[in-house]
Amino acid sequence: MKEDYGKHYTEKGFWDKLKKYAIVAGKKVVYSALLAFYALDNPKVPLKAKAIIYGALGYLILPIDLVPDLIPVLGYSDDLTALLFAIGQVGLYINKEVRTNALNKLEEWFGPTPTSDKDIIDVECTIVDVEKNIDEIAVTDEDDKDDEGK
């Protein structure tokens, strides 16, 4: 479903929306969107994962949401959910370059933003959770192979 929104994504629409509503949307939404956007430049991101990113970014810039963006506090919660889902799908491909680009752009709009900022930590935890789950799956797969050999 999120991939259906990809047809609404344009790079110009993305930048126009973020520039206009960055402060209202907040750092967590903007950082998530920037991570997703810059992850698209990573050639290791598979096409299916890019489709998910395009869908989430398309949903972000679409003027009609499940929760209208103009509603204070809740307005961008659905956008954040879509973005965090997309980031969760591509967490392994969000490398240092992607993070650096996202943080640099975030600082242009919000001023100095330490990596200890709660909003940044919340988003990064989504990525770490993905990496942790992948590691757990890999360990489980190795244990299953060991059990088969016995």
Q: For 15-41, write each residue's pLDDT tens digit.
A: 888 888 888 788 999 999 999 999 999
This prediction has a pTM of: 0.76
Instruction: Report the domain count for the chain.
Output: 1
Instruction: Please report where in the chains the tokens 């959770």 appear, as a residue.
Output: 129
pLDDT, position 91: 86
Phi, psi (5° rounding) for residue 65? -120, 170
pLDDT, position 38: 95
Q: For 74-119, write each residue's pLDDT tens digit.
A: 567 888 888 998 988 888 889 999 999 999 999 998 999 887 899 9
Quote the CA–CA distance of 118 and 144 in Å, as a whole number: 38
* Beta-carbon-side half-sphere exposure of residue 130 (alpha carbons within 13 Å): 15
Could you list the residue range(s) of the whole structural domain that residue 30 is in? 2-149
Task: Decide: helix, strand or coil at residue 69.
Answer: coil
**Whether the predicted pLDDT of 7 surpasses 50:** yes
**Whether the predicted pLDDT of 62 surpasses 90:** no
Quote the CA–CA distance of 43 and 7 in Å, as a whole number: 21
